[in-house]
Amino acid sequence: MKLLMKTMVAASAVAFSVGAVDARDLRLASGAPPFHPAANPLYSSFAEFLPEETNGALTPQMIGPEVVSIFEVKKALQSSLAEVGNLLPMFVPAELPNTALTGDLSFLATNPHAMAAAMTEFVVTCPDCQAEFKTLGGVYTGSGSSDVYVLLTTKPVRSLADLKGLRLRSGGAPYARWAESVGAAPAQIPVSETFESLSQGLLDGTMASVSDLISYRLVDVAKYIIDLPLGTYHTTSNFTVANGVWAELSVDERAGFVRAATKSGTLFTQNWGYERPGEARKTATDAGLEIIPASQDMLDATNAFRGTDVDAAIAVAVEQLGVADAAEKIARFQALVDKWTSIVASVDGDVDAIVAKVQSEVWDKVDFSTYGL
């Protein structure tokens, strides 16, 4: 896979090597700490691909999370502190309701690459999504996805009965609904507080990426990985471009920007969805954690929940987000998930092939003289 063999270089080195006389620096804010995949490889690879895909016309200037945190990306884009930022729609659902409704569909996921591609095609071809991005002040250029979440616990969970009363951190509404459906007790706490809550016995586990064992040092407090597939975090806008900046770019620069974003977004999903989980599982095994396969009754209960939770997601979108045609939009997103699950399977998960498919199926059909304007 050629993309995975590319050497990541610092943004400053890229800008220097390109040496374009008329290059325009774009201020980029990942909002993420260095250890997070949103920083590396998402933004570090974009720093390389951006000048390559724009013939040196656009170059990166990184803004660290100490200046723009993930919670401040929207404000930074609107104030021009940042010109490109990693905007998470779930942080601003009132402003991006038609986009944010996909965040309630985590349990549709079985494949991270398929979820990222489905999300990208959904937003690009959704007029209401495009309109709300424009009102917010940004242009959408693609999404990425986490791995499929599992349970990380301090107690063994070998059957559905073991889930009863278990206190589990929930990262969002669909996870809380699932926990309640199996008799567990969901708790809404920040991911940064998971370690302390587990170590103090306030929680029995968390519904999370297995990579959290490394990213948040949960390997030091968790004792078990329960391999029960619990969906992905895929409602992202990896490289949101401020409206005014996008309008100033040429058509070729916009197209090149998107090519770079698609490459980096796919690397991001490969890393967060596949590579880091593999590293985390090895670390867990070396530390003595037990990996417990999901029992059939847990799988059956989760599949039953998956089949009925779409109705709950529709209700949330209509009643809380104000999306009157939520059922139609959610049905369309489901169809895109099916489409991209098939496509990703057909290329056997090859990163370069997925990049090419997203480009041909989505971006090659976009008119960059009008998109985002």
Calculate helix-pair angle for 351-361, 251-270, nearest 10 degrees.
140
Global confidence as pTM = 0.89
pLDDT surpassing 90 at residue 307: no
Structural domain that includes position 257 = 2-145+234-279+334-361
Please tell me which residue, 321 or 3, carries the higher pLDDT value.
Answer: 321
| Residue 103 within a domain | yes
Q: Which residue has the tokens 């998109």?
A: 371
Q: Is 207 found in the same domain as 306?
A: yes
| Residue 288 within a domain | yes
Rounded Cα distance, 329 and 325, in Å: 6
Rounded Cα distance, 79 and 82, in Å: 8
For the stretch 121-157, pLDDT in tens is 999 999 999 999 999 999 999 999 999 999 999 999 9
Please report, for the domain that includes residue 162, its CATH number: 3.40.190.170
Pairing of strands 84-87, 167-169: unpaired
| Residue 318 within a domain | no
C-alpha to C-alpha distances, 193 to 32, 67, 207, 214, 218, nearest whole angstrom: 17, 22, 14, 14, 11
Rounded Cα distance, 250 and 209, in Å: 39
Q: How many domains does the chain have?
A: 2
| Residue 119 within a domain | yes
> What is the Cα gyration radius of the chain?
20
Single out the residue of 258, 238, 235, 265 nearest to residue 372, CA to CA.
258
Which of 4-18, 62-76, 104-118 bottoms out in mean pLDDT, i.e. has the lowest?
4-18
| Contact status, residue 125 vs residue 208, Cβ threshold 8 Å | no
What is the structure's pLDDT at 324?
97
| Residue 200 within a domain | yes
Rounded Cα distance, 184 and 197, in Å: 16
Q: Is 158 found in the same domain as 81?
A: no
What average pLDDT does the chain have? 93
Rounded Cα distance, 103 and 135, in Å: 20
Rounded Cα distance, 160 and 163, in Å: 5
Q: What angle do CA 231, 174, 141 make, to 5 degrees?
A: 65
Pairing of strands 58-63, 24-29: parallel
What is the structure's pLDDT at 18?
40
Q: Is 97 found in the same domain as 213?
A: no
Q: Is 184 found in the same domain as 292?
A: yes
Q: Is 289 found in the same domain as 207?
A: yes
Q: Is 289 found in the same domain as 211?
A: yes
Q: Is 174 found in the same domain as 35?
A: no
Rounded Cα distance, 110 and 160, in Å: 21
Q: Is 296 found in the same domain as 225?
A: yes
| Residue 76 within a domain | yes
DSSP secondary structure letter of residue 95: T
Q: Is 299 found in the same domain as 193?
A: yes
Calculate helix-pair angle for 296-319, 173-181, nearest 10 degrees.
130
What is the structure's pLDDT at 52?
98
Local structure of 28: helix, strand or coil: strand
Percentage of the residues of the chain whose pLDDT score is greater than 70: 94
User: Residue 190 CB: number of other CB atoms within 10 A?
Assistant: 9
Q: Is 176 found in the same domain as 210?
A: yes
Q: Is 305 found in the same domain as 353?
A: no
| Residue 315 within a domain | no
Look up residue 162 and give its amino acid: D
Single out the residue of 311, 358, 372, 288 nearest to residue 105, CA to CA.
311
Single out the residue of 216, 229, 235, 232 nearest to residue 280, CA to CA.
216
For the stretch 50-59, pLDDT in tens is 999 999 999 9
| Residue 316 within a domain | no
Number of residues written out for the chain: 373
Q: Is 206 found in the same domain as 84?
A: no
What is the structure's pLDDT at 1?
54
Percentage of the residues of the chain whose pLDDT score is greater than 90: 89
